[in-house]
Structure 1
Amino acid sequence: MTESRSPPSGCAMFGIYSSMFRRRRSASMSAMTRVNGDHPAAADAESSPAALKAPQVNLAHRKAAAVHEDSSLVRRPSGAVARAALPASERSRMTTNKPATNGGAGGRANNKPATTAAEYTGMAAELDKMILDHQKVKGTTQFVRATSGNMMLHRNLGNLNSGGGNAAASSARSSVERGNANKAAAAASNNNSSGYAYSGMGNIVSNNKDATRKNGGGELCRALSHRTDPEKLKEMGNEEYRQGHYAEAVALYDQAIIMDARRPAYWSNKAAALAALGRLIEAVDDCKEAVRIDPAYDRAHNRLGGLYLRLGEADKAIHHFKQSPKESTGTDVSRAQSVKTRIAKCNDARKLRNWITVLQESQAAVTDGADCAPQVMALQAEALLRLQRHDEADAVFNGPSAPRFGVDESTKLFGTIGHAYVLIIRAQVDMAAGRFEDAVSAAQTACQLDPSNREVANVHRRANVAAAARLRGNDLFKAAKFAEACAAYAEGLEREPGNAVLLCNRAACHAKLGRYEKAVEDCSSALVVRPAYSKARLRRADCNVKLERWEASLRDYQVLIQELPENEDVKKALSEVEAKLKSQRNGAAADRFQH
């Protein structure tokens, strides 16, 4: 497009936009309106702030508005496509236009048409394609095309404004220049109430912190800076992966897949990043897609075999290891064979109720590589429960390194029966730890998955009875009906013998009724299965004080002061017990001296 006056620079444009267009629009913007098919006088009508907030829509899109009027994404067709979308009269006018006179006002007064429309290609076309791909894959219509070089929300033209403070600076962080540039962006975001992370034209900063995280605002900015080349995105993702930024790597691989989903390396690399985040089942799906695209892709087969091994699917792991002779070794296949053998031994020992063997073989399977296998975890936790090691069983499912999978994805991978078994063991672990509501929920889901299984139905009944007994006992205890509360807890213990929480609660009832011996017995039984149960130890120590068993009470308080070093009540009780014990010993020594 030829203008007698040169268009303003980017900085000048930003100044114009940030002052809410107090000065009239430049000749280049008027010419842009003319290319879109509007009469030049329309620029004057749109110079008000209210009109400037709306995105510029060309004639072809006005014509199609009845079909897609709710979409916030506006795309301009390029070249011949743009001309073909216009009516015949418009196409004729676009091809017969003459140069405009100098100056916006003069041009409008003479009513001379603009020059021939330029081809709509280059970065602008790439921006449109990327917005459409992002909308299609991420399910958002948040981005709107405003000019040939910028994206906008329904807010400030030229930049995507951020209201998210530090999150905006984080989203716009460049993977190439972190360091000082990132600090400067964060400072700008904190100090600028308008929320701009970068003041240059064409930067993308999300207006919503959650949308930035979920929909990939940060990787879009970096993608645009490299002209949306998928290979460049893959390289950036690899760099993020090497630096341990796995979530960012996943986002970058996702963008590469959006642009070219036929490259198996993108899917395989994304699977590696997902696995590093602990999202193993998602990683399996992506590896399977890579293998589907290229059945001879050795690295994807090897990676898929490793994932299946970690999940305890030994047969599938062996299959994929054998499909990748260049990447896999004989050791990989041997480990998978070992895991398969050990799981079979666990199942045989479980039928015989040989819990020591179940525990040993399940722990060995974890060592061989099945460290995230739900079935192996369930076998190990069940053996620990039966061996009265409830705290250790709880750590298997709820420790910091324990994997967590959703019901749907686990059922899809392991089957309904396999996942139902995992759920009933989890329900029993929850009951042992006092999480009765969680236990009931897990057992109920297991019943839905495997309704004909008697073992599952039995665990469901036990969980319901124990939860109801604990709830009824708590209500009676609060009402100071200690004898009735004691009977309620006892009813729960009939269904769930050895439950530390019910034992400790019944001990509290015994203590209120002055039955300190029975309270000590119940607390001791609770501590057998859960040695780290501080409430039961504290209650036993207090009951021993009432019975003037100073040495036994001292031992419990010494353990408690290690577990609860900041607890002032424990410190005070320990001092009192030490004084009582010292006085008792001094009295005994005096008696011996007199005799």
Structure 2
Amino acid sequence: MIADHQKSKGSNTLVRASSSNVMLIGNLGNLRQGGGNTGSTANTNTYEQFFETSLSSSSSKQPNKYPNSVMGNVVKKQNDDSNHDRAVPAQDASLCRALSTRMDPETLKMMGNEDYKSGNFAEALALYDAAISIDPNKASYRSNKSAALTALGRLLEAVFECREAIRIEPRYHRAHHRLATLYLRLGEVEKAIYHYKHAGPEADQIDIAKCKNVQGHLNKCTDVKRMRDWNSLIKETAAAISAGADSAPSIYALQAEALLKVHRHQEADEAMENGSKFSVDDCTKFFGPIGNANLLVVQAQVNLAVGRFDDALAAVQKAAKLDSNNKEVNPVMRRARAVAAARSNGNELFKASRFSEASVAYGEGLEHDPYNSVLLCNRAACRSKLGQYEKAVEDCNSALNVRPKYSKARLRRANCYAKLERWESSIKDYEILQRESPEDEEVIKALQEAQAQLKKKHGGS
């Protein structure tokens, strides 16, 4: 099986099917996705330096070196005469199991290294996992798995694997360096410096200088936040991200919080989107319950600002469970519930064509969140139905000020401009909408009508 893998890279590859099974398949198909190296700290051009690549000289001579392998069954994917997949006969299971126990983990690691070098990170990860399942106490397997996880953008999991590698081998310089780089990207500068100092020849003064640069920006973040200088906080968080903390949820959350304060809701949403996506459990494990609760409170506020009311409530409720002493949880929860209730009540009244009452309902929600773009846009719809086009335009303006790409508010404003026969303004909005959605027939038709009316107004033929 190893010979097949080495002779023809695309033919047979081991892939872990579950925590205890390995599957041998002919075409990895959707596992071969996105081999890009974005976000990876690994440099495949220095592959020989980056991995422990040597094979055990006795691997082929000791087939029973790991008689207690937990790899489980190996299943081979075969094709019948019709080129359709067929299941492996049950009687072959014992043979497959025997083959699996003879796989040397060093060989699996070498196969994983080949995949990593080729940019096939998901395949490499599966092979490193297979090696770990046979020999869970080999630090290099954990460290290499960390590199694959990093390349796949799964940085917190990569941290946990590096920690395990260092637990197994405390003086493993490469693992220390890899962990330090991960900590720097995640904004944990002091931990990064500690591990760089334990990385031996793997680290240099440039690494430490980079950490100190990021720390300087983070210190300024603390100072300007205390002074409520939100614009400076936006600037310093951006500088910290550019300096190396490019995957730090806490820094992106701090930036989003500042953007909310200056009513740049769309940018706040983009800031949270730009931050790495980690599971709640992983974030809690890495940042602790209190740290993750802070992140969830900011996420809830961003969700609320852009109209994801259910998501806002879910996030703040998770925060409350993680840290019941968080002072921001209750105010955010009350505001989220009030705004969600106002939107729901207003929507019901609007559906019943009770536009004046719906307008009042949305207004009640705006008392709790004056810059909420969704409530503003919904109230604009009510005012338009009531013939209050100027007021509707004002609400759309307010919504677009905080979310310039809010297409529903722009379309509503364009329609109101048309009702007011302000054709130039109407055309400008329709043209923006058409660039965003070239195939939208409603926008195309409305734009053509506005252009015709403007031409008519100027006496064109």
- TM-score by length of structure 1 reads 0.63
Deviations 1:250-304 (A, max 9, x none): 1111121222222211110011101111111111111111111111110000000
- C-alpha displacement of 1:410: 1.1
Q: Which amino acid aligns with 1:396?
A: A
Instruction: Say which SS state the counterpart of residue 577 (structure 1) adopts.
Output: helix
Q: Contact (CA 8 Å) 1:541, 1:556: kept in 2 or not?
A: yes
Q: Which amino acid aligns with 1:191?
A: S
Aligned match of 1:288: 163
Aligned match of 1:191: 82
User: In 1, distance between residues paired with 2:330 and 2:225?
Assistant: 19
Instruction: Say which SS state the counterpart of residue 459 (structure 2) adopts.
Output: helix
Aligned match of 1:474: 347
5+ residue gaps, structure 1: 1-72, 74-121, 136-142, 144-150, 152-159, 162-167, 169-184, 206-219, 591-595
Aligned match of 2:441: 568
Q: Which amino acid aligns with 1:296?
A: R
Q: Contact (CA 8 Å) 1:482, 1:513: kept in 2 or not?
A: yes
- C-alpha displacement of 1:576: 0.8
Aligned match of 2:33: none
User: In 2, distance between residues paired with 1:190 and 1:126?
Assistant: 38
- C-alpha displacement of 1:224: 4.2
Of structures 1 and 2, the one scoring higher in RCO (CA 8 A, sep 6+) is 2
Deviations 1:180-237 (A, max 9, x none): xxxxx6xx3693556158x9x96999xxxxxxxxxxxxxx99x948940111111001
Aligned match of 1:369: 244
The reply on whether 1:447 has 2:384 as its aligned counterpart is no
Distance 1:416 1:127, change over 3 A: closer
Aligned match of 1:337: 212
Q: Which amino acid aligns with 1:252?
A: L
Q: Which amino acid aligns with 1:435?
A: R
Aligned match of 1:134: 71
Aligned match of 2:375: 502
Aligned match of 1:274: 149
Give the 5 Å matches for 1:28-39.
Answer: none
- C-alpha displacement of 1:356: 1.1
Q: Contact (CA 8 Å) 1:490, 1:506: kept in 2 or not?
A: yes
Deviations 1:78-101 (A, max 9, x none): xxxxxxxxxxxxxxxxxxxxxxxx
Q: Contact (CA 8 Å) 1:126, 1:228: kept in 2 or not?
A: no
Q: Contact (CA 8 Å) 1:358, 1:380: kept in 2 or not?
A: yes
The reply on whether 1:390 has 2:281 as its aligned counterpart is no
User: In 2, distance between residues paired with 1:224 and 1:257?
Assistant: 17
Q: Contact (CA 8 Å) 1:417, 1:450: kept in 2 or not?
A: yes
Q: Contact (CA 8 Å) 1:507, 1:523: kept in 2 or not?
A: yes
Deviations 1:49-102 (A, max 9, x none): xxxxxxxxxxxxxxxxxxxxxxxx9xxxxxxxxxxxxxxxxxxxxxxxxxxxxx
The reply on whether 1:263 has 2:200 as its aligned counterpart is no
Deviations 1:478-518 (A, max 9, x none): 11111111111111111111111110000001011111111
Deviations 1:128-149 (A, max 9, x none): 744xx135xxxxxxx4xxxxxx
User: In 2, distance between residues paired with 1:332 and 1:204?
Assistant: 51
Q: Contact (CA 8 Å) 1:501, 1:526: kept in 2 or not?
A: yes
Aligned match of 1:82: none
- C-alpha displacement of 1:454: 2.2
Deviations 1:339-387 (A, max 9, x none): 2222222122112210111111111111111111111010111122222
**Identity level (%):** 51
Distance 1:226 1:241, change over 3 A: farther
The reply on whether 1:519 has 2:456 as its aligned counterpart is no
Aligned match of 1:235: 110
Instruction: Say which SS state the counterpart of residue 460 (structure 1) adopts.
Output: helix
User: In 2, distance between residues paired with 1:489 and 1:126?
Assistant: 71
Give the 5 Å matches for 1:297-336.
Answer: 297-336=172-211
User: In 1, distance between residues paired with 2:254 and 2:81?
Assistant: 52
Greater C-alpha radius of gyration: 1
Q: Which amino acid aligns with 1:269?
A: N
Q: Contact (CA 8 Å) 1:356, 1:383: kept in 2 or not?
A: yes
User: In 1, distance between residues paired with 2:454 and 2:357?
Assistant: 36
User: In 2, distance between residues paired with 1:283 and 1:300?
Assistant: 11
Aligned match of 1:17: none
Distance 1:190 1:498, change over 3 A: farther
Distance 1:189 1:548, change over 3 A: farther
Give the 5 Å matches for 1:336-355.
Answer: 336-355=211-230
User: In 2, distance between residues paired with 1:386 and 1:332?
Assistant: 34
What is the aligned length?
401
User: In 2, distance between residues paired with 1:434 and 1:586?
Assistant: 44
Instruction: Say which SS state the counterpart of residue 428 (structure 1) adopts.
Output: helix
Aligned match of 1:532: 405
User: In 1, distance between residues paired with 2:146 and 2:366?
Assistant: 47
Spell out structure 1 runs of 4+ moving beyond 6 A: 122-128
User: In 2, distance between residues paired with 1:507 and 1:347?
Assistant: 39
User: In 2, distance between residues paired with 1:227 and 1:453?
Assistant: 54
Aligned match of 2:287: 414
Q: Which amino acid aligns with 1:382?
A: E
User: In 1, distance between residues paired with 2:81 and 2:367?
Assistant: 61
User: In 1, distance between residues paired with 2:245 and 2:82?
Assistant: 50
Give the 5 Å matches for 1:66-215.
Answer: 129-130=68-69, 133-134=70-71, 143=73, 160=75, 168=77, 188=79, 191-192=82-83, 195-196=86-87
User: In 1, distance between residues paired with 2:85 and 2:406?
Assistant: 53
Aligned match of 1:35: none
Distance 1:266 1:545, change over 3 A: same
Q: Contact (CA 8 Å) 1:226, 1:232: kept in 2 or not?
A: no
- TM-score by length of structure 2 reads 0.81
Distance 1:371 1:203, change over 3 A: farther
Q: Contact (CA 8 Å) 1:451, 1:457: kept in 2 or not?
A: no
- C-alpha displacement of 1:125: 6.3
Alignment RMSD: 2.7
User: In 1, distance between residues paired with 2:84 and 2:384?
Assistant: 61
Distance 1:267 1:127, change over 3 A: closer
Q: Which amino acid aligns with 1:436?
A: F
User: In 2, distance between residues paired with 1:204 and 1:445?
Assistant: 47
- C-alpha displacement of 1:241: 0.7
The reply on whether 1:464 has 2:355 as its aligned counterpart is no
Instruction: Say which SS state the counterpart of residue 187 (structure 2) adopts.
Output: coil
Q: Which amino acid aligns with 1:307?
A: L
